[in-house]
Amino acid sequence: MPENPNLARDHLANERTFLAWVRTGVAIVVFGFAIGRFGIAIRQFGLVQGRMLEHSGLSVWFGMVAIVGGVVLTISGLLRYRLVRTQLDHGQFTPAGFIVDLVALVTALFGLALGGYLFYIEKAF
């Protein structure tokens, strides 16, 4: 098998892609924390106004789902990075298919769920 003159460039591109996965995962974790904290803040505002809210709605659960999703996304990025690194070393690279589709679908469904929840709480108040 002839040496690939672009092997170093391919590995560096793989590393940049992995770092994009990590940045996205961190952003989703931070976003999830903000969503969860929003529900807690609403409960605290209720206490200041003299109303005792029994729960903070689904915000904390949506936040937890986002945090777990960000962690899973980061781990998926690491697994994908290692797979691509091995494929590049063996000259047998295959592009991602399923995982890209899965991330897009899960993100879209989570966005729709958040939008539905915002519509629901707007109608409730």
Cβ partners under 8 Å of residue 17, min gap 6: 77, 80, 81, 84
Residue at 99 is within a domain: no
Look at residue 15 and tell me if it is in a domain: yes
What residues make up the domain containing 90?
7-94
Q: What is the per-residue pLDDT across 2-12, written as a single tens digit (0 to 9) for each?
A: 577 788 999 99
What digits encode the pLDDT tens for the residues 10-46? Answer: 999 999 999 999 999 999 999 999 988 887 777 777 7
pLDDT at site 65? 93
Is 39 a domain residue? yes
Lowest mean pLDDT among 17-31, 61-75, 88-102: 88-102
User: How many domains, the chain?
Assistant: 1
Are 25 and 77 in contact, with CB atoms under 8 Å apart? yes
